[in-house]
Every structure is written in structure tokens, then in C-alpha cells.
Amino acid sequence: MSIFLYKSVYADSVTKELGVKTNVDNNYTWTITFNKDADKNTVNNDNIKVTDSLGNKVAVNLVTNEKTVKVTPVNFYKYSETYDINVENVKDLNGNSLLQKAHMSFIVKEEPQKPNPGVTICIDPGHGGRDPGAIGYSGVKEKDVTLKVGLKLGNILKQRGINVIYTRDTDIDLAPKTSSFNVSADLQKRCDISNAANAKYTISIHANSFSASSANGTETYYYEGSVEGKKLAEAVQKHIVEDLGTTNRGIKDGSWLYIAKHTTSATILTELGFLSNPEDERKLNSDSYQNKYANAIAKGVFEVLGM
């Protein structure tokens, strides 16, 4: 779209109406074309004006090149807003008026809808409540790390339009309260939540422990035979190792894991690091590193979803 302004036979006091242009991009550059070279000194923000629907002047950059002036907004135009361009008093190199006054309106297109990937992801912060999980070198509890990283991950995914459900979002376990803590009942409840939500992916978050404090690093499990699960495990593992600088222990067959066996989703279980290792434990217990873990897992999700 261009605006062509040729000096017409009408008196200069009559404004030439150029109509309304619709569906204009919010950063659109208008090109005004005259029939003679314009005097740059007469091209300015008083002679070429863009105003919004309230009549306020909008900042635009003007670039003059012989017969043309390009008009670009300094900031993006607002979606769905109506603007006016008025052009007057632009002269040619001999000082003759190049045109009568001209006016045109344009309406910026509607804001594009954010793509909703239509995907539900189940986040499973490992352990909780009566089950603390692993206890770290200096006493950090696995259940606290997994919950914090899980909630941070959920917030990141939700911001991008992904439906998120949690197996838990507070410090609880999911086994019946009436008896002593029952691991398989707790795990089955987590699988039920994922299955009921028809989650595409389940991401179970854990931290490791070993008798020797030297053991360290990140590893991620997937259900052997799940192509989608393996892809997600690879992507999540890669981003955690890259962003956190943890030792890469690789992706592993986790078909034996209760949560992998009893969920209908593509399910992964990531062991972020070793709580039994002082350096890993320090990262797992740090708020800023927990943000990095959550971000890295989210990157893996976005990668497999092509977002």
C-alpha cells in the first residue's frame, strides 16, 4: 500500500480525502510519493502528521528520498486503533507547493490471538507430606526441592498457554491418611491424576541420592518404546545439563518406574542432581538455580512442542 499524492487542480484549501485503509500492520511504513522531488526542509512532523483517535500526535520517523517520504511509527501502532495521516505544506525544490492538503485514515489490524497449543502437561513433584524423599548432605529434603521446581515450571508453561495440572502443589503425600504411608497407593494416585486429565506429558521431578557423596549429575528416565517420551527426556536432559552445568549422566530406560508404567501420557522422570553431593545440593536448594532448573525443563517442553 502506498499513498500517491499528485498536485491536483483543486484549490489548496480543500483537503483531498484519500479514504480509509484497513487491516494495517502495527509497524507499517507508509510511502508517500510526490510527482516531483521534495524539499527535505519542508518534510517535518508538522507537515506530515499522524494522530490517534483522540487527536494526539503519534511519533513517527520520516525518511525523505527524492520523490518519496517513508513514514514509520517510532513505537508500534496499537491494534484495532484508527489513525489519521495529514500531509500539507510540502514543497518542491523550487519552493512550489507539491500538493493540496491530504488526509487519510487507517485502522490497524486486530491483535493476533496467542496460539494455544491445546496441550495438558501433568507436573509431578516427587514425594511430599509424610514422604520426604532423599535427605541431602546438609539436610535438604527432596520433597521441598521437587515442589519448588515443579511450581516454577508450571508457571512458565502456563504463561505460554499450556494447561498445567499438578499431582500436588503443597507439601502433601497422596496415600490414604488412615494407614501408615503406602508408596504404591501414593504413586497410583499421581498416575490417576495424570490419566484423568488426559495429559500429553507427565514430568515427574526428583533428586537423587547415593551412599558416596562424590556421585553427582543429572539423569532423565523415559518409558522405553515411547517415542514422544524419549524425545522429551532427551530435550529436558540436554537443557538442564547446558544451563546448570551439571554432569551429564544421560537418558535412561525407566520402564520399571511405577509412574512410567501406569500413566497413559508420555512420561519422564528427571533426577535433577544428587542431594548427597554437596555441590549439587547447593544448586538444588538455591532459589535462583531452582529457576534455572524450571526454565531448562520448560525449554525441553517447548522444543518438543515446536513452540
**Toward Zn ion, which CB reaches closer, 38 or 174?**
174
Q: By CB under 5 A, how many residues form the interface with Zn ion?
A: 3
Q: Which stretch binds Zn ion (CB under 5 A): 41-49, 83-91, 162-170, 199-207?
A: 199-207
Q: How far is the CB of 145 from Zn ion (least distance, A)?
A: 10
Report CA dihedral (209, 214, 215, 218) to the nearest 10 degrees. 100
Q: Which stretch binds Zn ion (CB under 5 A): 44-52, 112-120, 205-213, 261-269?
A: 205-213
Q: For residue 154, count other CB atoms closer than 10 A to its CB.
A: 22
Interacting residues with Zn ion between 106 and 135 (CB under 5 A): 126, 133
Q: How far is the CB of 79 from Zn ion (least distance, A)?
A: 47
Applying CB under 5 A, among 143, 206, 238, 283 the residue interacting with Zn ion is 206
Interface map 83-102 toward Zn ion (x if CB under 5 A): --------------------
- Tell which residue, 208, 142, 139, 137, has the closest CA to residue 173: 142
Report CA dihedral (284, 241, 297, 232) to the nearest 10 degrees. -140
- Tell which residue, 20, 30, 17, has the closest CA to residue 77: 30
Q: How far apart are CA 212 and CA 209, in angstroms?
A: 9
Q: How far is the CB of 204 from Zn ion (least distance, A)?
A: 8
Rg (CA), the chain: 31
- Per CB under 5 A, does 273 bind Zn ion? no
Cβ contact 108:78 at 8 Å: yes
Name the site residues for Zn ion (rule: CB under 5 A): 126, 133, 206
